[in-house]
Structure 1
């Protein structure tokens, strides 16, 4: 019977299949590397803009002054729908006000000091969150990769029944693919709880748009706000009639008096400058994974209650804990250092996994020299490209084209590695790129 596809077609199909697999592994590696770097998100902001005023606390009256100053600076612009006040925290001891059109740092007296300039940290966060793609597509894709890590971890355990018994057996002195396999298995075991926690929470965060939209369409007639209300609270009725800005000092004093153990991290004015405006306080709770509890106030400072993220249903408390658990925003610097170390190990597990597959192909007489070279280009190119964007930030400032620099640098390094390998192959030599083990 005549073959359905010619040998050349099959060869091209195998090459395309391998290339797609390499792209998936590259994106997974990119997510792990950027996730490790973004653990220091607040520290990167302070590094980017060291001249911004810092303080351990700010008075309620200074916050009122700061809001009035920012509102005055927005005269002639489109009315903002939200005004966020970032209060000083241990990780980021700065007071920052963000509207729909600007973000500024204010000093301890409430005066506008300098615009917020942390574009590089925001770029890095967006690269991890959504691969610089539109939010719906990017976060969904990253969420799917989180689910992939869960599947890889579970299947890896099933495929290696002795993986826990050999957890501390390391033949790292060998200079061949056995050492690569050992490092891969050992690091995978040592980081398994971390990898599962990161993958599960990452999948939940990334798939939020799909799950939320599906729930809204099937149970709430397409109303996304109503779908989220049982977890994060409902919004009051809007009234766009102009009204004076509320004073937030009484709200902050109420929190200090009635909730002294709660540290206010954010203060949010919803629909400021309208009769429908209201105030929401985000308060951090010690020794809790939740990002905070929502405390609702009317424009006149009347307390309307909490949402229940701290003491509501288990589902609410769980949903409020996912973000901090994923990014390591609890426990201070020691936890961040642990997350960085585990993140580096997880990145190495992803990198070595592809090398192991390439080694198996070589043993079967199918060396994938081009793919191996491309993979070396990715593993080296991603961190180098991130470093290049940071250098660009230091040279050109907040307006540097970080997205373009990162992707051009990554693709250029990968292409150079592939080109070098092909040139070496044309000369009849072995692959120009070494194996993982030196």
Structure 2
């Protein structure tokens, strides 16, 4: 007996397939859009809290005073396992201490000046990094989207053998969608190296955690820390016994004396206030793609060695180079502007790709008015939702529910678009009429 699905079943399956494709396209569009805006992450932080104290540098003794003041304010709270000190750099000339329960700015003398209030910037970062999904799940989804971007770039290149010859050919507006396809193809060519780099590094960053868990389970008996140690160096063995706070000032003075060419960006106190504590200094190396090198110190500020991100195994250096290459944190403002422009082009490529796909389906007699309307809601609703959350930041303050506002507004925009949508006249391809 031959089982043949009914025509209605086939139609429903095709509709479901199209909806899944639209969902993947929407998530990729959101990642590209948020990444474009996130290029100016430090600038957004400064704009959010323009009255925070700024300085070109801060003395090691002032940093030590700040650490002691912050830790004193945490008495009675759960113990902080990691204390992070952001040190002033050209892109963000502020000193900020972050613990497991608070984040505060210091003034140049090391006094606690005010709480850190960059809720919108962190909302934007989380949107791009995890799509606001729980940690590992969100990073995995975004990593898969990075692989999808890489696959789309390569398959698009192979599917259009004349793509480089026609790199600057733009045909006139056409009812069949030729004009839209040309803009899609041209932008894809112009941004090809960027798209490949962003897709590859995004996949590596997003899927890195999953890979670590798999490698740990297969080769390290489930010890995730041991896998990370091969790249970023080992952490000291924990000892919860109480101890005086570490001498961060001594470690910073050592960096000034022995590594004057390195721009110190972060100091991390592991298990501060315990006998197992140690200090880790992150330093940015000029004219290198690595995000920095880790310099390790004991609690007394004695140097213990570096992790090897700057001069270790080639795999370590490659792993440490993903972040700057992905986020454009090198070369100053000109590189950021270039990344923003290329990111905008990639966002347009994502948007037009789905319109082209819907247009082809319509020309084959498969009309998808609701899907087209939903896509219109995504394309215009997402940037509008970002603007609404930014307005909420300055109208309602740092504690505004940015995530709820964003996804509620976007869902509403899609719903309104679908409800108002009507089947387009045959042969009409909405976006082409706008060119």
Band of TM-score, shorter chain: over 0.9
Quote the offset at 1:208 in angstroms. Answer: 1.2
Which residue in 2 is equivalent to 1:27? 27
Q: State the secondary structure of the residue aligned to 2:39.
A: helix
For the 8 Å contact 2:175–2:428, the answer to whether it is kept is no
Counterparts of 1:173 and 1:91, CA distance in 2: 43
Question: CA 1:197–1:429 in 2, change beyond 3 Å: closer, same or farther?
Answer: closer
Deviation of 1:376 (Å): 1.1
Instruction: Kindly state the Cα deviation for residue 343 of structure 1 after the two structures are TM-superposed.
Output: 0.3
What is the alpha-carbon distance in structure 2 between the residues aligned to residue 123 and residue 87 of structure 1? 22
Please show how residues 108-123 of structure 1 align to structure 2 within 5 Å: 108-123=108-123
**Counterparts of 1:264 and 1:357, CA distance in 2:** 49
Could you say if the C-alpha distance between residues 242 and 409 of structure 1 is closer, same or farther in structure 2, counting changes exceeding 3 Å? same
Give the one of 421, 430, 433 matched to 1:434.
Answer: 430
Q: Which residue of 1 aligns with 2:361?
A: 361
Contact 2:142 2:202 in 1 (8 A): yes
* Farther-moved stretch of structure 1 (3-12 vs 275-284): 3-12
Q: CA deviation at 1:388?
A: 0.9
Query: What is the CA–CA distance in structure 1 between the aligned matches of 2:164 and 2:23, rounded to whole Å?
Result: 30
- In structure 2, what is the Cα distance between the partners aligned to 1:429 and 1:155? 32
**Could you tell me how far apart the structure 2 residues matched to 1:35 and 1:303 are?**
37
**2:298 corresponds to 1:302:** no
Residues 281 and 294 in structure 1, CA contact (< 8 A), matched pair in contact too: yes
Residue 171 of structure 1 contacts residue 179 of structure 1 at CA under 8 Å; is this kept in 2?
Answer: yes
For residue 130 of structure 1, what is the aligned residue in structure 2?
130
Does the C-alpha gap of structure 1 residues 436 and 380 become closer, same or farther in structure 2, counting only changes over 3 Å? farther
User: Does 2:316 correspond to 1:330?
Assistant: no
SS in 2 for 1:310: coil
Q: Aligned partners of 2:106, 2:172: CA distance in 1, in Å? A: 53
Give the structure 1 partner of residue 61 of structure 2. 61
CA positional deviation for 1:73 = 0.8
- Distance in 1 of aligned mates of 2:425 and 2:267: 64
CA displacement, residues 306-352 of structure 1 (integer Å, 9 cap, x when unaligned): 11100111111111110111001111111100000000000111111
Counterpart of 1:95? 95
The gaps in structure 2 that reach 5 residues or longer are none
Paired residue for 1:215? 215
1:243–1:275 contact (8 Å) kept in structure 2: yes
Normalization by structure 1: what TM-score? 0.96
Contact 2:363 2:427 in 1 (8 A): no
Q: Secondary structure at the match of 2:336?
A: helix
The two structures, once aligned, show a CA RMSD in angstroms of 1.6
Cα deviation for residue 430 of structure 1 reads 7.0
- 1:181 equivalent in structure 2: 181
**TM-score with structure 2 length normalisation?**
0.97
Kindly tell me: are residues 107 and 260 of structure 1, through their superposed partners in 2, closer, same or farther at Cα, counting changes over 3 Å? Answer: same
Contact 1:176 1:437 in 2 (8 A): no
| TM-fit CA distance, 1:5 | 2.5
Question: How many pairs were matched up?
Answer: 434
For 2:59 and 2:150, how far apart are their aligned partners in 1?
A: 46
Contact 1:385/1:409, CA 8 A, preserved across alignment? yes
